[in-house]
Amino acid sequence: MSQRNVPEDRVPAEDRDPAVQWVRSIRTEFIERVSLPFLNTLLDRLFEFRVIYDSEMRSARSKPENERAREVVDTVRNKGAEACRVLIEALSEKDPYFYNDLVKSRGTPTSLVC
């Protein structure tokens, strides 16, 4: 399937942030590859940094593995740039190998500072 590009002026400002764009770009690979134990670690980190609420964490944990990954990445992306930065930082700190694989396949925005 080809990817269509929306003109820059029609994309909401928040979605133009490099962190949000990167999280969007890794979405499919993240969902397909993240392990359940690591996903639970990410949920704990996101909760610790108040990116997600207790109810969101419980909801995600009640889902099967792929649905859980999908819910986590979409919830974080929908919360904006700062939430995406927390996820990216957690990925790079908690599983640098997985993070580096994502960077190799999708690149890292040059203006993204973790």
CATH code for the structural domain at 17-106:
1.10.533.10
Domain assignments of the chain as residue spans, ordered by start: 17-106
pTM for this structure?
A: 0.81
CB 39 within 8 A of CB 31: no
Model confidence band, residue 31 (pLDDT cutoffs 50, 70, 90): very high
Rounded to an integer, what distance in angstroms lies between the CA atom of residue 79 and that of residue 6? 21
Rounded to an integer, what distance in angstroms lies between the CA atom of residue 29 and that of residue 40? 17
Rounded to an integer, what distance in angstroms lies between the CA atom of residue 44 and that of residue 94? 11
Q: Mean pLDDT, the chain, as a whole number? A: 86
Q: Give the mean pLDDT of 74-91.
A: 96
Model confidence band, residue 112 (pLDDT cutoffs 50, 70, 90): low
**Short-list 9, 85, 103, CA closest to 49:** 85
CB 13 within 8 A of CB 54: no
CB 23 within 8 A of CB 87: yes
CB 89 within 8 A of CB 114: yes
What local confidence, expressed as pLDDT, does residue 109 receive?
56
